[in-house]
Amino acid sequence: MGLFDFFKRRSKEAKSKQTSEQKTAESTAENATASAEEQATKRNDSDQQSDNQAEVTTSEAVATQRPVESSESADLGTTEETEKKERSEVSETQIEEPAANTQSDDSNTAQQAAEMAQNAAQQAAELAKSAAAAANAASETVSSEAPVSESSQEVAIQSEESAVQTDETVSAGVTNTQSESSDDASNTQTVAVSDNKSAAANEAPEVTTDAERYDKGLEKSRLTFGQRLNHLLANFRSVDESFFDDLEETLIGADVGFDMAMQISDQLREEVKLKNVKKSKDVQNVVVEKLIELYDQAGTNEQNGLNLAKQGPTVILFVGVNGVGKTTTIGKMANLFKQQGKKVLMAAADTFRAGAIEQLNVWAQRDGVDIVKRPEKSDPSSVVYDALQKAKSENYDILFVDTAGRLQNKANLMNELAKMKRVISREIPDAPQEVLLVLDATTGQNALNQAKLFKETTDVTGIVLTKLDGTARGGIVLAIRNELHLPVKYVGLGEKVDDLRPFEPDEFVYGLFKGLIDVD
């Protein structure tokens, strides 16, 4: 099955899956809405019951308070009448006793009688004043609407104020209860939403499959390529020479390479005549289809997997300019093979760049693999020799050799690289099994130029394309295959250790052109 057939099949499967997920999401949304409405109804019923209960409690409190007030007023009135009767009886008794004593005591002298009479008169006057005051008080009490004394009235007023405060307290309690219930409900909803978001974040599936990694890693390239095509076709009127000029410019800008852009333009001219293409969408479909077909044809008999030794250690030499990620690529690839159960050894042959040896040593410790190293400025070939001896004597499966970043036009550095290859071939005749050129995908056409020059001076067997997820220039893969006929062995699709993946042309094509062609 060709690449384009694979692309159409995957696109149809993705479209069917998307439709199914959309229906499921709609059904879930409807169920969630119904559940939310049901919960809201239950909350409203519960709030109404709370309001009714609060009103009943308020009425009972007021009804209980009023009998207490009436009872207190009656008790106070009875107590006042009793006190008046006791004072009157005392007065009468005090008046009668002196008179009786005066009549019965004939033996007292006239002076004593006079003194007693005087005292009695004073007491009688005081009692008369008391009686007059009591009479006035009784008169005021009778004329008042409420049959209670001033003190009783004050008590009654205080009781009324207490009742009002009780009502306010009950009402406030009801209000606070409702407010607290509302706040609790609001807080519950807020917490629930927060928990849902947190759960959604925790439940978000991690990118694990290669298909998902390619889809995410090529997102920028896919969006940019789609935008370029949309811009090209926005002003589309007819397929004429002006259109083909714009198409070539668009494809070159997408880093597919000059040669491929010319081939696409030439083949599209013939396709337009055969299919009588007039609509912009049909033009876009033909462009994408031709890109995939040309890429597929250029990769005939291409071997994207690594060449591994049948016996003894496999030696892989990494070359490239400074800053493309050679050391990081070795660290990630070592981890990949270590997870596969391979015994891995590193050789720190980049003795020129400051910090290169320490950087590779950190990766070795992180991956849990062994490393052979020497001080900076040492002869790189001597480091390679020591590593080869260790790999053979201790039965290592893989030996990764890091080399200094070098420009392809620096004769002395290229000669040094040739010397290392001679040492490797002398110790292990079939080695190195791979010479991998590491390229930075973000450099676009510059990466293509580097590959051309390295291929002329070194026996490069494959490409490792790093930082593909951080660029919109994923079309460079098409140009490398079409113009250099060099297989891309590995691609960097993220910053994690396991984001360096073996290159899969099918997944790459689908990740780059997904959604840009109508496969119905």
Q: What is the 3-state secondary structure (H, E, C) of 113-143?
A: HHHHHHHHHHHHHHHHHHHHHHHHHHHHHHH
325 is in an annotated binding site: yes
469 is in an annotated binding site: yes
370 is in an annotated binding site: no
All structural domains of the chain:
210-298 (1.20.120.140), 314-503 (3.40.50.300)
Residue 210 to residue 217: CA distance in whole angstroms: 10
307 is in an annotated binding site: no
Q: Are β-strands 500-502 and 488-492 bridged in parallel, bridged antiparallel, or unpaired?
A: antiparallel
The residue type at 133: A
5 is in an annotated binding site: no
Contact 519, 11 (CB under 8 A): yes
pLDDT at 155: 36
466 is in an annotated binding site: yes
> Which tokens is 404 given?
């200094």
How many other C-beta atoms are found inside a 10 Å radius of the C-beta of residue 247? 20
Nearest Cα neighbor of 440 from 290, 315, 323, 274 is 323
12 is in an annotated binding site: no
Residue 214 to residue 336: CA distance in whole angstroms: 17
pLDDT in tens, the chain (520 residues): 565 565 556 666 666 666 777 778 877 887 888 778 778 787 777 777 777 777 667 666 555 655 544 444 445 455 555 555 555 554 444 444 444 444 444 444 556 655 665 666 676 566 656 655 554 544 444 333 333 333 334 433 344 444 434 444 434 443 444 444 444 444 444 433 344 444 433 444 454 787 888 888 888 888 887 888 888 777 777 777 888 888 888 888 888 888 888 888 888 887 777 777 777 777 788 888 888 888 888 777 888 889 999 888 999 999 988 888 899 999 999 999 999 999 999 999 998 888 889 999 999 999 999 999 999 889 999 999 999 999 999 999 999 999 988 665 567 777 888 899 999 999 999 999 999 999 998 888 888 888 888 887 778 999 999 988 877 777 888 888 888 888 999 999 888 888 899 988 888 888 888 877 665 5
Residue 265 to residue 275: CA distance in whole angstroms: 15
379 is in an annotated binding site: no
368 is in an annotated binding site: no
C-alpha distance across the termini of the chain, in Å: 18
The residue type at 171: S
Q: Establish whether the linkage from the previous residue to 432 is cis, with ω within 30° of 0.
A: yes
Beta partners for residue 316, in sequence order = 400, 434
- 3-state helix, strand, coil split of the chain in percent (to 5) is 70, 10, 25
Q: Could you give the strand order of the β-sheet that contains 370-372, starting from the edge strand earlier in sequence?
A: 370-372, 344-348, 398-402, 314-319, 434-440, 462-466, 488-492, 500-502
pLDDT at 339: 93
pLDDT at 41: 81
Residue 200 to residue 511: CA distance in whole angstroms: 26
> Which tokens is 357 given?
């040896």
322 is in an annotated binding site: yes
Residue 229 to residue 168: CA distance in whole angstroms: 73
324 is in an annotated binding site: yes
pLDDT at 166: 40
Number of Cα atoms under 13 Å in the Cβ half of residue 37: 5
> Which tokens is 184 given?
């609790």
SS3 207: coil
- Please give the angle made by the CA atoms of 406, 408 and 414, to the nearest 5 degrees: 70
Residue 244 to residue 273: CA distance in whole angstroms: 14
Nearest Cα neighbor of 318 from 354, 347, 358 is 347
321 is in an annotated binding site: yes
Torsion 10-13-19-25 (CA) sign: negative
> Which tokens is 317 given?
């030499």
